[in-house]
Amino acid sequence: MNRVFLSGKVEKAPRVAYTPKGRKIVTFPLWVAEGGFSVEVVSGGEALPGEGEHMPTGDVIVAGELITTRRRSRDILRVKASKILWMEE
């Protein structure tokens, strides 16, 4: 079973892209202070609040699975999010 739960801070505005079929894909770096590391989160648009290109930043809890992608002869670790809980300030 490949399941992870991370809590951290979205410090940069999420990037929005669309597949050729029009599906929204959102990526953002998640800073996990307790571990002292950053991981890229990839999600379909259905897990995100708001409309259009404006996406929130701040504290979140991410549930998903770890995936690796190859970029220029090195593996990149990402979290494919199935659920994102945006924390209220």
Map out the domains of the chain with their CATH numbers. Answer: 4-86 (2.40.50.140)
The predicted structure's pLDDT at residue 16:
87
When pLDDT is cut at 50, 70 and 90, the band that residue 12 belongs to is: confident
* Whether the model pTM is above 0.75: yes
d(CA 43, CA 5): 14
The predicted structure's pLDDT at residue 56:
67
For 25-47, what is the mean pLDDT?
87
* DSSP character string of the chain: ---EEEEEEE-SPPEEEE-TT--EEEEEEEEETTTTEEEEEEEEGGGS-SSTT----EEEEEEEEEEEEEETTEEEEEEEEEEEEEPP-
